[in-house]
Amino acid sequence: MMKKISVMTLNIWNDQGPWPQRVRLIRDEIEILDPDLIGFQEVLQGEDLDLLDDILVGTSYHRDFVGTIESWPRSGVDFGNAIASRWPILSRSEFILPNVEGNETRAALYCTIESPFGLVCFGCTHLNWKVDQGAIRERQVVALVDRLMAECDSIDFPPILVGDFNAVPESAEIRYLKGLQSLDGKSIYLRDAWSHAGGGSEGLTWSRSNPYVMQWLDPDRRIDYIFVGLPQPDGLGEILSCKIVCDSQRDGVWPSDHFGVYAELQAEVIKT
């Protein structure tokens, strides 16, 4: 059987709505999928509050978290991104993304993971959310990739970047990540796991079929992604499959306002 690394990303919608019921659905999905690496967005941590612990209680996942500055109105509560890894986290790096004065602050977290297949560089982020903030997101993705390449430069396994990018596939920021256009005189090529192995459907992760989305009256969109660098010539890091997850309700409760994305990557060298 081919050895794989499984990756999942999910914006958990902080603790809005029926969180005690929602977190059970998220835990159930993680138990079924059993992903090796998970990126979470909209995680809250503070005194007597730890949504990451609510989700991962009773598991052996290694964890890390980055909070943002002045992004959450509750005093003493950090709002940010988290990474969970089946394997030890050897190092971590965090940074604040470019923004404009007076707007929300966003961050990225990169972790170097000690997997059985060698080191893996895994990043998680959450970009500005407003539909008309494409120019801000463009600056953010350029900074994200610059940092990603610096963090992952000496690691053989292709870099992995996941998160809520709040941008549709046709946007300049996502086109940049996929190597379809340049920004700021720079270019990069990462593979969009859904485009590569998602089966050809739209892959919506923000859908009006979910009642938690209806309050915003936004159009259906795909805004959550798993990006992976080019595979090695021996097949290391090839995207084998991708699917949408956390996309169904139980007793009228949905796991989040976003759907998640799950992908499997080739983790063994194919010998010829």
Q: What are the beta bridge partners of residue 81?
A: 66
3-state secondary structure of 25: helix
Task: Taking residues 178-191, report their average pLDDT.
Answer: 97
Mean pLDDT over each residue of the chain, to the nearest integer: 94
Asked if the model's pLDDT at residue 109 lies above 60, the reply is yes
Determine which of 17-26, 62-71, 203-212, 261-270 has the lowest per-residue pLDDT on average.
62-71
Domain with 54, as residue range(s), is 5-266
Full-model pTM: 0.96
CB atoms inside a 10 Å sphere around CB 179: 13
Q: Strand 160-164's sheet: what is its strand order?
A: 89-96, 107-115, 118-126, 160-164, 224-228, 191-192
CATH code where residue 241 lies: 3.60.10.10
Task: Decide if 115 is inside a domain.
Answer: yes
Residue 219 lies in a domain: yes
Residue 104 confidence (pLDDT): 77
Whether residue 187 lies inside any domain: the answer is yes
How many CA atoms within 13 Å lie on the side-chain side of 115?
25
Residue 272 lies in a domain: no
pLDDT digits (tens, 9 = 90+) for 117-153: 999 999 999 999 988 999 999 999 999 999 999 999 8
Q: Is residue 99 part of a domain?
A: yes
User: Does residue 11 fall inside a structural domain?
Assistant: yes
Question: Terminal CA-to-CA distance of the chain, rounded, Å?
Answer: 17
Would 271 be classed as within a structural domain?
no
Pairwise pLDDT comparison (133 vs 268), residue with the higher score: 133
Model confidence at 241, in pLDDT bands (50, 70, 90)? very high
List, in sequence order, every residue forming a beta bridge with 10; answer none if it has no partner: 40
pLDDT at 20 over 90: yes
Query: How far, in Å, CA of 50 to CA of 125, rounded?
Result: 19
Q: Please state, in angstroms and as integers, the Cα–Cα distance from residue 183 to each residue in 136, 162, 173, following that order.
A: 12, 20, 8
Interval 202-215: pLDDT, tens: 999 999 999 999 88
Report how many domains make up the chain.
1
